[in-house]
Amino acid sequence: MIKAIVLATALALTTAGAVTAQDAGRSNFETGREAYIRSNFEAGQQAYILTDYANALRFFRMAADQGHAEARFYMGLIYSEGRGVPQDYAEAARWYRMAADQGNADAQGNLGLMYANGRGVPQSDAEAVRWYRMAADQGNDSAQFNLGVRYGSGQGVQQDYAEAVRWYRMAADQGNAPAQVNLGNIYRTGQGVPQDYAEAVRWYRMAADQGNDSAQVNLGTMYALGNGVPQSYVEAYRWLTLSAAQGNAQAVRNIDYVRSQMTPAQIAEGERLAAAWRPRF
State pTM to two decimals: 0.84
pLDDT of 251 strictly over 80: yes
User: 1: pLDDT confidence band, cut at 50, 70 and 90?
Assistant: very low
- Per-chain mean pLDDT for the chain: 91
pLDDT of 9: 29
Render the burial of 217-235: b for 16+ CB within 10 Å, e for the rest: bbbbbbbbeeebbeebbbb
pLDDT of 209 strictly over 70: yes
Q: Write the pLDDT tens digit of every residue in 18-42.
A: 445 555 555 554 678 899 999 999 9
pLDDT of 271 strictly over 50: yes
User: 281: pLDDT confidence band, cut at 50, 70 and 90?
Assistant: confident
How far apart CA 135 and CA 112 sit, in angstroms, is 9
User: 11: pLDDT confidence band, cut at 50, 70 and 90?
Assistant: very low
How far apart CA 206 and CA 223 sit, in angstroms, is 15
**Length in residues, the chain:** 281
Average pLDDT for 110-114: 98
Q: Are 98 and 126 in contact (CB under 8 A)?
A: no
Based on its alpha-carbon atoms, the radius of gyration of the chain, rounded to whole angstroms, reads 27
Average pLDDT for 189-194: 92
Contacts of 66 (CB under 8 A, 6+ apart): 33, 36, 37, 40
How far apart CA 229 and CA 222 sit, in angstroms, is 7
* Dihedral Cα 49, 52, 58, 59, nearest 10 deg: -30
Q: Write the pLDDT tens digit of every residue in 129-177.
A: 999 999 999 999 999 999 999 999 999 999 999 999 999 999 999 999 9
3-state class (DSSP) for residue 138: coil
pLDDT of 69 strictly over 50: yes
Give percent of the chain above pLDDT 90. Answer: 87
